[in-house]
Amino acid sequence: MRIRRVGAGALLLECDDGAQVEAWRAELWRQRDAGRLAVTEIVPAARTVLLDGLADPAATAALIAGWPPPPAATGPTGPLVEIPTRYDGPDLAAVAGHWGIPPADAVLRLIDTEFQVAFAGFAPGFAYLRGLPEGCEVPRLPTPRAAVPAGSVALAGPYAGIYPTASPGGWQLVGHTDATLFDVHREPPALLVPGTRVRLVAR
């Protein structure tokens, strides 16, 4: 892990992979909750963790550099959210073909997978869910759709995701949910925050 200064009040932790990101994200949240780390925002991404709102970035960098590397998690440990999903997406057959299995088996694979929110982005409430078995990466569509319905359950690369609102998008659509992914009147507004375990249960 490498620590870089970003702007006047932030640090960027550069990690080797998603597992290291999750280990540091969980450790930083623990340290903040324990009162040993004063930071406004801890924002994980694919290979980085951003710490924003630091009064003294240099001192915080030295503090973090003195900690032992957090152990990699042996499995997801966050709270579990079940997302009722109708597996009726227009790209389900294409995904199953990419995996070399019938569509019904592709649905079972998704139902049996326990995902975890790696990070959020793209749109408020959009969570990148990791956990697809190795070798099950799915290519994006060659041409993105001009409009993807809100609640669409989709796959791209090594991630699954759910579109919180209607928007353009190039992910492969395998299903749909009526769950509300983002609500400004809820605390927190996003249903799926980093570290959360997710199951896409059939409805």
- pLDDT tens digits, 146-189: 999 999 999 999 999 999 999 999 999 999 999 999 999 999 99
In terms of Cα–Cα distance, which of 45, 24, 29 is closest to 79? 29
**Residue 89 pLDDT > 80, yes or no?**
yes
Assign 70 to helix, strand or coil. coil
Q: How many C-alpha atoms does 79 have within 13 Å on its Cβ side?
A: 5
Residue with tokens 């790209």: 91
Beta bridge partners of 152: 176
Query: What does each C-alpha distance from 93 to 50, 77, 89 come to in angstroms?
Result: 38, 32, 8
**Residue 74 pLDDT > 80, yes or no?**
no
CB 47 within 8 A of CB 21: yes
- pLDDT tens digits, 51-72: 999 999 999 999 999 999 998 7
CB atoms within 10 A of CB 70: 17
